[in-house]
Amino acid sequence: MRKDRVEKIGFGLLFLSIAVTVLLLFSIIYFISARGIKVISWEFITQPPRDAMTAGGVAPAIIGTLCLTLIAIAFSLPLGLACAIYLCEYSPRGYIVNLIRVGINNLAGVPSVVFGLFGLAVFVKFFKFGVSMLSGGLTLGILVLPVIISASQEALMAVPNSVREASLALGATKWQTIKKIILPTALPGVLTGTILSIGRVAGETAPILFTAAAFYLRGYPHSLFSEVMALPYHIYALMTEGAHPQEQTAIAYGCSLILLALVLLVSFVAILIRQRQRGYGHGQ
Amino acid sequence: MDSKVKIKTEEINFFYGRHRALTDINLDIYEKRVTAIIGPSGCGKSTFIRLINRMNELVPNTSLSGSIYIDGQDIFLGSIDPVEIRRRVGMVFQKPNPFAKSIFENIAYGLEVNGVKDRGFIEEKVVESLKKAALWEEVKNRLSASALGISGGQQQRLCIARCLAVEPEVILFDEPCASLDPISTAKIEELIQELKKYYTIVIVTHNMQQAARVSDDTAFFLLGELVEFDRTQNIFTAPRDSRTEAYITGRFG
């Protein structure tokens, strides 16, 4: 009788937790959409801003965010995956490797504004890339490197050892085994890490604050060394500067909605790819 | 009845860290016969056969002394590529371990990694291997379906087909029926009988009836030592060592 009640209360609490979470999720989407949708138009996503940010569109910021994300992932995915492969498949298990793992995990906890200052010192100043798309992209890339490494490592470790043995026993080399058997099996997991990273990269403000972002640009970036506008920074700027808070706030919500939509779109595409990859994993 | 010695092991000692898993193993395995290796869990049976295709060296912190000769050639010489040894000595594992690829690709894989590019040849070889592994009739209409979608017994025969495709000389079976039902087990045993016409076969098994049914020679391992090696018939009817007798009559194990 009492056991029964404890069971019910426990279940109720768990259900409540998930209900609150789902509610939160939907309310974020609802509020951002409801406020953002008013300013969204074809002009908003294809035109640059006009009239001191109170009219026109945010196209340069959309393009900027896409470019920054692309550079960041193009830098961190190959590098991170290679690190994960080394750590999982090649490195001898031992003290040093454990230390490296701990180091990488800790890197993930470093505040993003610190990465921003690092990017300023290294890419902008030392390598003389200037405040540019390249500096910002690389800074963002380093920010998500630990996420990609950890996710890839987990995906690689989840590949059963029996499959590695099967491949080696057929006379495959280690590299053939990694390339043709382990990586395809681990790909869904690696992609999951990449999706998370894309969301993070697209939304970060602090790392690009000093390395890439401009408040207002008339045109589009024309090379890797151009300054860029970016959606998260544009939102920040709209909300903190300028003389027309009312119009600017509306545009900021519009930007948020676009950012949200971009991240969801990327996730959706990645999930589709993942499902296709997994097709063979579940048999039919 | 006297056939050629295919694999000869000399004074094999093998250690996992400090633990000695195999002690002074001297064993001859004859060509185109089935050699069963029996013994209780942890007696070093699997460790032993994994030396023959040099799989044990993938395990960290192990050491080895002694020699194994295949056709008179020492496989542990520095100049010998373990990858080449593994092509010549195929292995079927305890749990079926097909790749998460199609049935066709599972078999084609071994050929591809060994440098075969000719699609026509690969296709021929896939069909031939599936036929040899007595699986062709069951899967011929779904070669492009996932290998993970077929039954455990079929998966194990697929693993055998995969192994046959690269034309090994020796096939090692590491408790191949441990996870299979009796009907699948019977099919695999029948298959082993058929395969010994072409290959030298070593099978590790927990199941003494299975050893008696499928093998020509039997080696009994206990605590990392080779206690007795003889014709299977002799081992099961007139064992020379009292420990062998105790084991096969079920007094321990």
Mutate to test the interface with B, among A170, A174, A177 (most CBs of B within 10 A): A170
Q: Is residue B157 part of a domain?
A: no
B100 interfacial to chain A (CB closer than 8 Å): yes
Mutate to test the interface with A, among B75, B85, B86 (most CBs of A within 10 A): B86
B69 interfacial to chain A (CB closer than 8 Å): no
Helix (H) or strand (E) holding B203: strand B200-204
Q: Is residue B114 part of a domain?
A: no
| Local structure of B97: helix, strand or coil | coil
Q: How many domains does chain B divide into? A: 1
Pairing type for strands B217-222 and B225-231 reads antiparallel
Residue B139 contacts residue B103 (beta carbons within 8 Å): yes
For the ranges A161-170, A178-187, B223-232, B244-253, the lowest mean pLDDT is seen at: B244-253
Q: Domain range for residue B68?
A: 5-95+170-248
CA angle A33/A34/A39 to nearest 5° reads 80
Give the global pTM.
0.83
Residue of A nearest to B86 (CA): A171
pLDDT recorded at residue A1 = 62
The residue among B2 and B31 whose pLDDT is bigger is: B31
- Distance (Å, whole) CA B115 – CA B108: 11
B110 interfacial to chain A (CB closer than 8 Å): yes
pLDDT recorded at residue B150 = 94
Give the pLDDT mean for A160-183. Answer: 94
CA atoms within 13 A on the CB side of A113: 0
- Looking at every residue in chain B, the average pLDDT score rounds to 93
| Local structure of B116: helix, strand or coil | coil
Where helices occur in A158-244 by DSSP H, the ranges are 161-169, 174-177, 183-203, 206-209, 231-240
- Distance (Å, whole) CA A150 – CA A83: 10
- Distance (Å, whole) CA B44 – CA B38: 10
- What's at B243, amino acid-wise? R
Q: Is residue B109 part of a domain?
A: no
- Distances from the Cα of B190 to the Cαs of B37, B214, B236, in angstroms? 18, 8, 20
Are B113 and A280 in contact (CB < 8 Å)?
A: no
Q: Is residue B143 part of a domain?
A: no
pLDDT recorded at residue A279 = 57
pLDDT recorded at residue B2 = 63
Using an 8 Å CB-CB cutoff, list chain A residues near B88.
171
Are A166 and B60 in contact (CB < 8 Å)?
A: no
At B65, which CATH number?
A: 3.40.50.300
Q: Write the pLDDT tens digit of every residue in B36-83.
A: 999 998 899 999 999 999 999 888 889 999 999 999 999 999 899 999
Q: Is residue B156 part of a domain?
A: no
Are B84 and A167 in contact (CB < 8 Å)?
A: no
Q: Is residue B111 part of a domain?
A: no
Which DSSP symbol is given to A70?
A: H
Q: Is residue B78 part of a domain?
A: yes
Distance from CA of A197 to the nearest CA of B (A): 27
Using an 8 Å CB-CB cutoff, list chain B residues near A166.
93, 97-99, 159, 162
Q: Is residue B110 part of a domain?
A: no
- Distance (Å, whole) CA A115 – CA A119: 6
Q: Write the pLDDT tens digit of every residue in A192-205.
A: 888 888 888 998 99
Sign of torsion, CA B109 B110 B113 B119? negative
Reply yes or no on whether the pLDDT at A282 is more than 50: no
- Residue at token pair 């000389």: B169
Distance from CA of B236 to the nearest CA of A (A): 32
